[in-house]
């Protein structure tokens, strides 16, 4: 398993009139967390795109346990629990400043060639940096 931690501070723009973070905005937090988790491995999603791989989301699940609120500094623990095949799946657990688990999520993405529109194998360099985290699972 590979695990990484990202901190995100809630913006006013992200709240709604309930005083909660609007439910759709968590998916942006996920994006920030998973991009940073790849960056920590030396993989830039921006570079992947310029090399001809896009990674659209194919499935997402979110559980809202307690609200996040304006100016909260959220801690997002993001993990990859399985070596990617045609899909890569990220799992998130979000904690507020008191350390309370307020949110859980899962996102699956595919590797896609934007020219052909066809799914492709994950780039070698992603497998290479991830494999050490899964070596004892063989």
Active site residue ranges: 16
| Nearest residue (CB) to its own copies, 4 versus 107 | 107
- Of 43, 45, 82, 134, the residue at the interface with its own copies (CB under 8 A) is 45
Is 63 a residue that touches its own copies (CB under 8 A)?
yes
Which of 63, 92, 62 minimizes the C-alpha distance to 80?
92
Contact present, 7 and 72 (Cβ < 8 Å): no
Contact present, 29 and 109 (Cβ < 8 Å): no
DSSP-assigned states of every residue in 103-129: EEEEEEEE-EETTTTEE-PPPHHHHHH
Query: Is 99 exposed, middle or buried, given 0-12, 13-18 or 19+ CB atoms closer than 10 A?
Result: exposed
- Taking CB under 8 A as the criterion, which residues in 72-111 touch its own copies? 107
Beta bridge partners of 64: 103
CA distance 51 to 59: 24
Is 123 a residue that touches its own copies (CB under 8 A)?
no
Name the minimum Å distance from CB 79 to its own copies: 19
| Nearest residue (CB) to its own copies, 31 versus 77 | 31
How big is the site for its own copies, counted in residues (CB under 8 A)?
39
Is 51 a residue that touches its own copies (CB under 8 A)?
no
Name the minimum Å distance from CB 9 to its own copies: 8
Binding site for its own copies (CB under 8 A): 11-13, 15-20, 22-28, 31-32, 35, 44-46, 49, 54, 56-64, 67, 69-71, 107, 114
């Amino acid at each position: 398993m590979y695990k990484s931690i990202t901190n995100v501070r809630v913006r006013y723009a992200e709240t709604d009139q309930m005083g909660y973070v609007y439910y759709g905005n968590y998916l942006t937090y996920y994006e920030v967390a998973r991009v940073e988790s790849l960056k920590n491995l030396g993989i830039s999603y921006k570079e992947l795109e310029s090399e001809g791989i896009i990674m659209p989301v194919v499935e997402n699940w979110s559980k809202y346990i307690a609200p996040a609120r304006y100016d909260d500094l959220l801690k997002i623990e993001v993990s990859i629990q399985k070596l990617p095949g045609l899909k890569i799946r990220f799992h998130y657990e979000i904690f507020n400043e008191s350390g309370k688990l307020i949110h859980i999520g899962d996102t699956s993405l595919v590797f896609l060639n934007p020219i052909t529109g066809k799914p492709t194998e994950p780039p070698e360099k992603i497998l290479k940096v991830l494999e050490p985290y899964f070596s004892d699972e063989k």
